[in-house]
Structure 1
């Protein structure tokens, strides 16, 4: 349970830092976005590390939910820590969505894609 709390904390802190370090303008222009990343490589590296830490923390929280525990007859039952992990991820994303909806959609979408790819790899 403490590990799940630490993973949720890492997910929130990484998401917040990603929101703070990556600037997305109101009318989004790709060339302005790319130039901002090129002209500030240290912030880009820090934001990339924060982004991948969020992906990893979310995957570690989703993993028990996606791999079912128990015997063959208990295939439909999930454990309580798995559900609390899912609930915690949704709460973290809800708070991050209040801070910046665009960044949160990018984080949430990337986490889903990474989770799906990692599940079958």
Structure 2
């Protein structure tokens, strides 16, 4: 149980730090975005590391959730409250991050979902 809480905390913190450290100007101008990244290389590097860690952890959680859902579909495992709560917590994290910065959250979770889906072993 502590492991799941810790992974959810890592997902939220990495998404939060990504949103705070990689700012997207409105209206979006690509040159201003890149200039902001080049002017602050340390901030960009740390944000990239945080993104990579969060991306891998979120992909692993999604892979495990999809694997357990597939087991339920094949009747090898009963539907439990644990699985429902894990989906719910992931959705709550997504919702909170989406309200803070929808562009970064969309990139973060879509890449994590893609990574989690392609890493499933059949």
For the aligned pair, the TM-score class normalised by the smaller chain equals 0.7 to 0.9
Q: CA deviation at 1:63?
A: 2.5
Counterpart for residue 100 of structure 2: 99
Counterpart for residue 84 of structure 2: 83
Deviations 1:9-52 (A, max 9, x none): 00111111001100101111111111211221111111111111
Q: Distance in 2 between matches of 1:11 and 1:62?
A: 11
Gaps of 5+ in 2: none
Secondary structure in 1 aligned to 2:120?
helix
Gaps of 5+ in 1: none
Larger relative contact order, structure 1 or 2 (CA cutoff 8 Å, min sep 6):
2
Q: TM-score, normalised by structure 1?
A: 0.84
Q: TM-score, normalised by structure 2?
A: 0.83
Q: Aligned pairs, how many?
A: 121
Q: CA deviation at 1:79?
A: 4.6
